[in-house]
Structure 1
Amino acid sequence: MNKLPLAIPSDIFDREHFLCAVKSARQPLPLFKDSIARVTDYFHQQFQQGSDIRQLIWGRAHYIDQLLQCAWQLFDWPDSISLNAVGGYGRGELHPHSDIDLLILINEQAEQDCQQAIGEFVTLLWDMKLNIGHSVRSLQECFEQAEQDITIATSLLESRTLAGPPAMLAKAVSNTEQHSWPSHAFFRAKWREQIKRHSKHGNSEYNLEPNVKSSPGGLRDVQMIGWIAKRHFNAQAMDDLVERGFLLKPELNSLNQGLDFLWRVRYALHMVTGRAEDRLLFDHQRTLAKMFGFEDDDIRLAVEGFMQQYYRWAITLGQLNDLLIQYFDETILRASEDETIIDINPRFRVRNGHIEVTHNQVFAQTPAALMEVFLLIAQSPNIDGLRATTIRLIREYAATIDDDFRSDPQIAEYFMALLRCKEKVALQLRRMLRFGVLEMYLPEFKAIIGQMQHDLFHIYSVDAHTMEVVKNLRRFHYPKFQKRFPVAARIVQRMEQVELLYIAGLYHDIAKGRGGDHSELGVADVTRFAQRHKLSKKDTNLVAWLVQHHLLMSSVAQRKDISSPDVIRDFANVVGSQRRLDYLYALTVADINGTNPSLWNSWRASLLRQLYTETTGALRRGLENPADKHEWIEETQTSAMEKLLGLGFSEEKIHGLWSGVGEEYFLRESVEDIVWHTEAIAQSLNQNAPLILTKESGELDNEGATQIFIHTHDRPSLFALTAAALEQLNLNIMDARIYSSGDGYTLDTFYVLDADNKPIGDNPKRLAAIKQLLQEKIQNPQHYLAKISKRTPRQMRLFSIPTRTRFHNDEDLDFSVLEIITPDRPGLLARVGKIFMEHDVMLQNAKITTLGEKVEDVFFITDYQHKPITDNELAEKIQRAICKELDEQAQI
């Protein structure tokens, strides 16, 4: 492809006129700077008017060529020195703030004489504010350094002479290619380089803030193909690779279109930031979405539409990069290696561990083979993957999948057999997605490819999240994950129809982005799938129920008081059977971990486990025999009494310690904790000083939190100052339980995790520091809202939304329930506690849930008479005060 740069009008830049002007000027620098500003403004205007991005990129490089040549001519140079463009600039491509990489080649004898001129030349370029990267080398130095550094060798591969004798550069390139980096070695080194780069960016095109240049599917992946082509084929353009059979015409078209899109994105980033910014940060995403013509609508934000387009191109380019590198490795580098070929059937064989078609018409003659190939890989532990030529055919024939293909009973049988395989199920589904088969076989899947939610909670696109969920469901079978997910692993490994779990995983978010309730909309999709794949009515009902209720268990566990028999009863009534509960629990754990693994912590694990265990008990008793609240309390008190009597306490002493403590305490707290609290209070020597205890909670490995128990004089400010102190200690409150003892004291339990979302563990020094600071704050409450030293992270500041509250009275629990949805920030709970104190509100319980950049906290509150807040005006006043306090803080 001929590189035709964008023409610059002569009134903006005329080379000959400009050269005469700078040669005659006493101070040429202002002329250079003025020219750069004028040309840059012109190019930006052309970009905004929709000019061809290639002409803009080539045009800027061509302009800089002329600018540097003019600057070069201001000095006297011998014939033994040359100025050369290398790297991206050497390719003739230059974005507004890209590095301008220069190589000055010089004869060793002349180097000493030219040092001052070289220094003055480079200083002039720096003074122009150009992003210059330069090196000065002799031919021998160039050869030696390129031999040691693949980056230098690569930059020489993309080089051209701007001024001076071209023969110097030609010799440097020739020496490097012949002696330092032959084709095989060059390819292997660049491949290792790419693997390392991809690993740095999480091996995923779906980074929340991707790097347009370096992330998988970015510009570097396209350049990688070009480097291979130039080094091995001596090709000067991608078009040459079609003639050589390395690249197919449709692949070339995709590469060109994807490159155009990424170039436009990168140009826009440089233009709006005024610097060499290649990261698509959240605030830049919003700006570029508008610039690229996307608008908010009722279904999704403009930025989500823009990022979906970005991710789809990144996936396309990443796939082509994978395919062409594998193809190059197989058909060129390994062409002479010994091969082992094993026939499977008339359609497929295995060559050196990779499956391939026996002839190029396999999919045309037997369409079902397009599904069969993935089943064969899953069924055979000896098949490592697919040959590149077969991947190409799969990609080609995937586009031919139609209703006849989807309704073929044999193909449906293959797909269900794949889901029933004991190994490599998730891997094959990911391959089907990557090769374009899954979106054609399950057409409803196409809409969610690359679809993102613009927040910090959902770190994957919907399609990538779906694949993560299925992979997590598979992981429950693996020994190394059994310790982390003991309950889920035990449940899944005893399931007789685990394929139903995978179907629910595939469809649970299938309707996202359509508007409306995606759980309800997904039911229709998964029901059609079940009917097409001949599932029984019983199994169809199960997968439909799982899709409809896939958010239920996490919502109940994190937002309701699961120590309440009424909450367990209501949840058990919705679930209805142990079979549903087992499937729902496994799907919920996989879903949470597949949304954002960093948000899964031991406390969430313990909540889900508790809800699962209590609901299992309710189902065993029978839904017609729900647990009675008073029986539950009586049973807890009796068991705690027996243990305390065994420790030497008298019944009179125990009743005295328990007098005034409300029913909620015995309803929510375990027998073990009641005994622990009672014994410690009885043994406390100083009733005026706060009693502070700590211990780990949780019955299973890696599940639970650190409990902090506080027994002290009750006061309105206690929750606020405790929350502020725990924030100062860098602890995250997961749950708070507040009880009044009726004698002027309060019994408070806080469940906390450290900054890494883990319990504190056996750390005496840390635990002593916690106790000491809490005692100081409680005994000296005057400055409980001390200045929070932690700053709100940049990403969270970008997601500032108005605080929302919901208020209702729960008649079953005798509480008022206040829900607060607001951006996360330091000191949030302390400020909420301050509002409660100012409005004579008593906190009884709090469920703290952080979802990325926002929190969805639930507070169970009463007035000072322990009654729900029935005054609507007061309820509104509390909510307004909270919104005002939190939203004003968000502006700081």
Structure 2
Amino acid sequence: MPQPPRFSLIAGRRDIIDRREIAQRIAALPDAKLQQEGTQILRDALQGGRAEIGRRLAAESGRGRVIAASYAFLSDQIVRLAYDLVTQRLVATADPDAGERLAIIGLGGTGRGEMAPYSDLDLMFLCPARNVPWCEGVAEALLYLLWDLKLKVGHSVRTIPDMIDAARNDMTVRTSLLEARWIWGDAGLDAEAMRRFRSEIVAGSEREFVAAKLAERDERHRRMGDSRYVVEPNVKDGKGGLRDLHTLYWIGKYVFGVERPADLVDKGLFTAAEFRRFERAERFFWSVRCHLHLAAGRPEERLGFDMQRQIADAMRYADRPGKSAVERFMQFYFLNAKTVGDLTGLFLAQLDTQMGERGRRFALPTFRRRPKRLDGFTVDRGRLSIPADDWFRKDAVRLVELFALAASEEMEIHPHAMRIAARDARLVDHVRDDARANAFFLDVLTARKNPDMALRWMNEAGVFGRFVPDFGRVVAQMQFDMYHHYTVDEHSIRAIGLLSRIERGELADDHPLSTRLFDQIVSRRVLYVAVLLHDIAKGRGGDHSELGAEVAQELCPRFGLDEEETETVAWLVRYHLLLSNTAFRRDVADPKTIEDFVGAVQSPERLRLLLILTVVDIRAVGPTTWNDWKRRLLRALFDAAEERLRLGHKQRGRAEQVAARQQALADALAWKSSAARAHARRLPDSYWLAEPDSWQVANALQVADAEARIGDPQPSVVADADPVSGMTRISVFAPDRPGLFYRIVAALSVAGASIVDARIHTTRDGMALDNLLITDARGRGYEDSRTRRRVANALEKALRNDHEPVLKEMGTLPRREEVFRVAPRVLIADKASTRTTVVEVNARDRPGLLARLAGVIHAAGLELHSAHIATYGERAVDVFYLTDAKGRKLDTEASASLRQQLLDVASEAN
């Protein structure tokens, strides 16, 4: 009886299900109890088999292929038993004619003999002709029986001509038929169908199929994020996942007729060593997928944060210094995803070589003609190659030179050269200190066009991580948080690619300042090396900025950088978060903020380098991390620091800038000069330095409108779209009173809004003018004007109410976010401002957190002068500039009491 080869891997198959014993039990049932009791026997057998496979997975979690085959084997036996029950007892025919035949054929994963616990059962009922009552009756009865067993069945009822037509017109059907496998019923029908499929569909259509599968793969990657390093990967359909391995097998089967993946070696598409990597990755991914299905209790394919920790425990990963069990598990996941990417590139390039006509490439783009030899390397139809298999063994420096040439000549590397480079990668250990090798590496890193592509090839071959072992330590390393979208190595390589695009002017619209500054920097290679090394020390259990600076001090001289360049790179790595942390967490309008920042930076050159490094670092975190609001904050800090460094005096320039902003507002409003001067005198310098021009115009109009009303001043609230940030601006003009900010954030919290940033200003005549940026529960601005008006009305009503706000419990978190914990921390910086005490709270972000923190500040009788809210995935960092009721900094006792109360709230957030 034919079975998929992988069924032979399953030990003790009868312990999973004994079909003969179950068939005997069903045969002994009387007709009156056949339907009910027969179904129950099958249900018990299915549940018992699943329980046995689950025990085997728990005991040997690394045998993913065997587990997948076991689930398919169990499904096969259930289908066979159900078919026999239907045809022999339920829809039995005493004297069947020639048309009463039916073949049950497994398609897709069912046909391949690989199923996860909750995979669909994909079946085709093949009939000899249309409209045969017996066939239709059997198919219907069988489906109802399988549905009664709670199996999810994907099915089709076809004749052979129907099947051929569907395969001709639908590539998905064609692919599923490629893995078709007879399960039970009439084997002759299956044999005839497969013969016609191969002769009428497959023969002569190989190029069409390959092109369609590659296009389908690219579209699937695009939907899934187009990276194999996204932190919540899709095990089945994500880039570098199981479907990519299946695609290689499908192409090999369609083009070369292979019957099992191991045959890809015989066809020259993989070496034996490469196929072993294929099998290891496949085993691992099947283990993860089966664990994922069982943990979720449904056909879940996305390895979400909530599942990662569970599966890491199930697969027996343990914590290590500097790296948690879940981070070690996910690093191994991404290493396997990287393996799939490497193998895909080799496979397709080899396929291209075998299928291409002489002088013409099959699937990959053509390149302009090149000289036949480049420094001893050869060129094979536009791809950089090597003249002999011992080329790297004769001179290991060539392992680095290969990628330098590929970068400088903008050439793809031939799969043969990549294979030999991967084989000989260990030889690069002996030339790490070789000046030529390091010069070539610097050429790769600083290539004028697409250095990220050459670095990825170098990484795929295993040369990168061996030549720079510190980089090898972060290959495929994940950070278990909601902020970082990619692994550390992918993040760094993406940042280098962004840096190159800024240098070439391709991102001038997005980053005009960085593009302009690039032409002013003294050493471009300092910047490229700093971007490479800025996260090099992550996962070592300490401050990665400090540890990374030490790594830079060791590596830069090896790369060929002089003493001054080395010092600059080390400084940039040590302080690569300084600009963003200051801009997002501190009051840039406070002179002390600028003084401290400039004191750390010290030179215009470092400031320029730091800005560009910060921009590419933030953008490379993920596709939605960079926004115009962050651009605005960074630009404000950069301009203030640049002015201070240029003018060299902390007061000069500040008054001029304030006067210029006031004059710009007066020009924009066309008010009488007396009215414009009166408005300007009411507001402190911090207002003019902090608020964007458009907000100042909107605020002035709001204030004028509110004061034109007759009677006592009432709170005025404006909610408007802010096109720069994509969020909603809330502006509050109201009589200042203790706890006003608390009332504002409490009301917004009750309304379901999240506060992204807040700036608080008090006029010289006792009015408050506060500007806040808010989003809805999805993190987006309120697009509908009516919704914005409702939020504004609710806030106005709350501000008119004299009763203390009643806060709800802090909102619950989605299940996928519950796994994250943030160590609560409260920092009190008495010297960060000359006038106020700066309090920074780090806590688990959740709805209502800011309102509760503001409530503590209000209850303590403190005055809030400025608030800055930053969120990094699951971590909230809220900073408050405070004084006591008399306008003085907090004393030691008040600081200690406040710290403990804020820490209690931060702890509750977990």
Q: Assess same fold via TM > 0.5.
A: yes
Structure 2: which amino acid aligns with 1:401? V
* SS of equivalent residue, structure 1 residue 101: strand
Which residue is equivalent to 1:376? 405
**2:588–2:637: 8 Å Cα contact kept in structure 1?**
yes
1:280 to 300, 303, 309: 303
Which residue is equivalent to 2:650? 626
Which residue is equivalent to 1:506? 532
**1:476–1:493: 8 Å Cα contact kept in structure 2?**
no
**1:847–1:859: 8 Å Cα contact kept in structure 2?**
yes
1:32 CA displacement: 1.0
After superposition, where does 1:556-705 map in structure 2 within 5 Å? 556-622=582-648, 625-627=649-651, 632=654, 636=658, 640=662, 647-648=671-672, 650=674, 658=681, 681=703, 684-686=707-709, 687-692=712-717
**Cα separation, 2, equivalents of 1:194 and 1:553:** 40
Structure 2: which amino acid aligns with 1:609? R
Gaps of 5+ in 2: none
**Cα separation, 1, equivalents of 2:329 and 2:15:** 37
**Cα separation, 2, equivalents of 1:283 and 1:733:** 26
Which residue is equivalent to 2:252? 229
* SS of equivalent residue, structure 1 residue 845: strand
- More moved, 431-440 vs 71-80: 71-80
After superposition, where does 1:288-327 map in structure 2 within 5 Å? 288-327=311-350
Which residue is equivalent to 2:27? 23
1:57 to 31, 52, 68: 68
23 and 606 in structure 1: CA distance in 2 versus 1, 3 angstrom threshold: same
After superposition, where does 1:111-150 map in structure 2 within 5 Å? 111-150=132-171
* SS of equivalent residue, structure 1 residue 454: coil
1:98 to 119, 126, 150: 119
**Cα separation, 2, equivalents of 1:108 and 1:159:** 20
Alignment partner of 1:202 is 2:231: no
**1:511–1:522: 8 Å Cα contact kept in structure 2?**
yes
Structure 2: which amino acid aligns with 1:261? F
1:707 CA displacement: 5.6
1:416-438 deviation per Cα after TM superposition (whole angstroms, max 9, x unaligned): 23344322222211221122221
1:251-310 deviation per Cα after TM superposition (whole angstroms, max 9, x unaligned): 011111111111111121222223222221112110111112222344122111110111
Which residue is equivalent to 2:569? 543
Which residue is equivalent to 1:71? 82
1:399 CA displacement: 3.1
163 and 703 in structure 1: CA distance in 2 versus 1, 3 angstrom threshold: closer
Alignment partner of 1:721 is 2:746: no
**1:831–1:886: 8 Å Cα contact kept in structure 2?**
no
1:377 CA displacement: 2.8
Q: What is the TM-score normalised by the length of structure 1?
A: 0.90
- More moved, 253-262 vs 598-607: 598-607
**2:589–2:690: 8 Å Cα contact kept in structure 1?**
yes
**2:750–2:808: 8 Å Cα contact kept in structure 1?**
no
393 and 163 in structure 1: CA distance in 2 versus 1, 3 angstrom threshold: same
**Cα separation, 1, equivalents of 2:313 and 2:173:** 39
Which residue is equivalent to 1:736? 758
Which residue is equivalent to 1:423? 449
441 and 374 in structure 1: CA distance in 2 versus 1, 3 angstrom threshold: same
1:193 to 207, 213, 216: 216
**1:82–1:165: 8 Å Cα contact kept in structure 2?**
yes
**Cα separation, 1, equivalents of 2:740 and 2:826:** 23
* SS of equivalent residue, structure 1 residue 279: coil
**Cα separation, 2, equivalents of 1:539 and 1:688:** 60
730 and 592 in structure 1: CA distance in 2 versus 1, 3 angstrom threshold: farther
Structure 2: which amino acid aligns with 1:353? G
1:86 CA displacement: 1.8
Alignment partner of 1:527 is 2:553: yes
Q: What is the TM-score normalised by the length of structure 2?
A: 0.88
* SS of equivalent residue, structure 1 residue 482: coil
Which residue is equivalent to 2:265? 242
**2:483–2:874: 8 Å Cα contact kept in structure 1?**
yes
2:414 to 380, 387, 393: 387
Alignment partner of 1:476 is 2:487: no
**1:33–1:128: 8 Å Cα contact kept in structure 2?**
yes
- More moved, 219-228 vs 711-720: 711-720
Which residue is equivalent to 1:32? 42
708 and 324 in structure 1: CA distance in 2 versus 1, 3 angstrom threshold: same
**2:756–2:772: 8 Å Cα contact kept in structure 1?**
yes
1:858 to 870, 879, 882: 879
- More moved, 791-800 vs 634-643: 634-643
**1:657–1:682: 8 Å Cα contact kept in structure 2?**
no
220 and 675 in structure 1: CA distance in 2 versus 1, 3 angstrom threshold: closer
**1:4–1:55: 8 Å Cα contact kept in structure 2?**
no
**Cα separation, 2, equivalents of 1:704 and 1:490:** 25
**1:605–1:703: 8 Å Cα contact kept in structure 2?**
no
644 and 478 in structure 1: CA distance in 2 versus 1, 3 angstrom threshold: closer
- More moved, 813-822 vs 736-745: 736-745
1:591-650 deviation per Cα after TM superposition (whole angstroms, max 9, x unaligned): 11112341222222112111111111121223xx4337xx94698479859987995455
**Cα separation, 2, equivalents of 1:287 and 1:764:** 44
- More moved, 169-178 vs 99-108: 169-178
1:781 CA displacement: 6.0
**Cα separation, 2, equivalents of 1:599 and 1:806:** 26
1:533 CA displacement: 2.6
**1:58–1:92: 8 Å Cα contact kept in structure 2?**
yes
Structure 2: which amino acid aligns with 1:343? K
Alignment partner of 1:847 is 2:876: no
**Cα separation, 1, equivalents of 2:661 and 2:268:** 79
After superposition, where does 1:249-288 map in structure 2 within 5 Å? 249-288=272-311
114 and 514 in structure 1: CA distance in 2 versus 1, 3 angstrom threshold: same
* SS of equivalent residue, structure 1 residue 856: strand
Alignment partner of 1:343 is 2:349: no
869 and 5 in structure 1: CA distance in 2 versus 1, 3 angstrom threshold: same
**1:735–1:845: 8 Å Cα contact kept in structure 2?**
no
**1:88–1:94: 8 Å Cα contact kept in structure 2?**
yes
* SS of equivalent residue, structure 1 residue 299: coil
Q: % of aligned pairs identical? A: 30
**1:637–1:671: 8 Å Cα contact kept in structure 2?**
no
1:364-396 deviation per Cα after TM superposition (whole angstroms, max 9, x unaligned): 334333222322233235x3x222222222222
**Cα separation, 1, equivalents of 2:578 and 2:324:** 26
- More moved, 45-54 vs 88-97: 45-54
- More moved, 428-437 vs 500-509: 428-437
- Give the alignment's Cα RMSD to 1 decimal: 3.4
**1:104–1:137: 8 Å Cα contact kept in structure 2?**
yes
1:179 to 200, 203, 225: 200
Alignment partner of 1:456 is 2:482: yes
Which residue is equivalent to 2:10? 6
14 and 489 in structure 1: CA distance in 2 versus 1, 3 angstrom threshold: same
**Cα separation, 1, equivalents of 2:522 and 2:777:** 40
Gaps of 5+ in 1: none
Alignment partner of 1:47 is 2:57: yes
* SS of equivalent residue, structure 1 residue 103: strand
Structure 2: which amino acid aligns with 1:510? I
Which residue is equivalent to 1:81? 102
- More moved, 848-857 vs 786-795: 786-795
**Cα separation, 2, equivalents of 1:886 and 1:539:** 42
1:834 CA displacement: 2.8
